[in-house]
Chain A
């Protein structure tokens, strides 16, 4: 069973700061997902990646397969970025069976 650890568990930032959330996993994967859960509870997929780096607006996700580690970066953070960020991995050929981290609670103050 793949273990997924996220750090930090809680993160508070001032508007405009650069934010990094980390995710480590224990065994080989086919893909890693970053999800965002809004304060109202809805879950949105931000990125799915199996190698390298992806960018969408102010969000950047990177993965290092050899080190079994991924990072989610938010540049120029804004209060609307306040949410829970969740890392999840799909192992081997089990494409749909995701194992989730516990999430990182991000609060951005104006």
Chain B
């Protein structure tokens, strides 16, 4: 199994540009998550999904959109990039069945907005 994969690894965007961060998992996990990690700060949840077709906001959803059309994929869309969105983005997945199980993290995408 490849686990959780993310693309791209690094991207520079200009203010106002849009992009999609890709996330794929091959473990048949029902839950998937997007986090951002700012320097010196803890991880913060952006959006999460409990299954295909179901998404919900996390702590810091503004400026982002997600979709979950399949179990495997959970892309994160930035519509109008702003410098405040400069961060490292992690995708994660887990299998939840009445209790929380281990979360598996992707390698991260480093985004710089100039």
Contacts and interface: CB of A to CB of B under 8 A. Distances in A.
Q: Name the interface size band of chain B.
A: 20 to 34
Contacts of A41: 88, 107-108
Interface residues of A, number: 22
Contacts of A33: 102-103
A96 B102 CA distance: 10
Interface string A67-91: 0000000000000000000101010
Interface string A33-55: 10100000111110010000000
Interface string B77-114: 00000000000101010101001111111011000000
A31 interface: yes
A46 to B, nearest CB: 9
Contacts of B40: 102
A4 B41 CA distance: 12
A45 B95 CA distance: 14
Interface of A: 4, 30-31, 33, 35, 41-45, 48, 86, 88, 90, 95-98, 100-103
Ranked 8 nearest A-B pairs via Cβ: A100-B42, A43-B105, A95-B100, A100-B43, A31-B100, A96-B31, A102-B42, A45-B102
